[in-house]
């Protein structure tokens, strides 16, 4: 979630996901790395999914077919579908957060949000 949020740049999602990550035991250093796009500290079994999630977000939810195929080979079809569902949910949250920020920015004449 942090890796995708880092790409989409939603401050609300960054705050929420960082708070949840802290509760799950991830250190602030690890959170900072993920939010800056660094996935080197990911668990080996999760690294491919996190890198794929970044690619998915950077490609505006249109990943390369080879990347999808690699994900399916690594995790299976069912888990790949679950990953895609989560990515779509994160994207929706990021889009809503960024849209909310823009609305606040516009109605405050640039004093807030943005």
User: What does each of the 114 residues of the chain score in pLDDT, given as a tens digit?
Assistant: 888 888 888 889 889 999 999 999 999 998 998 888 888 888 888 889 999 999 999 999 999 999 999 999 999 999 999 999 999 999 999 899 999 999 999 999 999 986
Can you give the pLDDT at residue 4? 84
Can you give the pLDDT at residue 37? 81
DSSP the chain: -HHHHHHHT-HHHHHHHHHHHHHTT--HHHHHHHHTT--TTS-HHHHHHHHHHHHHHHTTS---HHHHHHHHHHH-HHHHHHHHHHHHHHHHHHHHHHHHHHHHHHHTTTSS--
């Amino acid at each position: 979630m942090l890796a995708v949020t880092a790409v989409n740049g939603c401050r609300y999602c960054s705050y929420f996901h960082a708070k949840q990550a802290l509760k799950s035991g991830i250190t602030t250093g690890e959170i900072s790395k993920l939010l800056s796009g660094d996935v080197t500290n990911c668990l080996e079994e999760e690294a491919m999914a996190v890198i794929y999630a970044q690619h998915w977000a950077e490609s505006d939810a249109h990943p390369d077919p080879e990347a999808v195929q690699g994900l399916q080979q690594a995790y299976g079809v069912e888990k790949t579908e679950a990953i895609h569902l989560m990515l779509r949910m994160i994207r929706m949250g990021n889009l809503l957060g960024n849209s909310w920020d823009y609305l606040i920015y516009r109605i405050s004449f640039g004093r807030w949000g943005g």
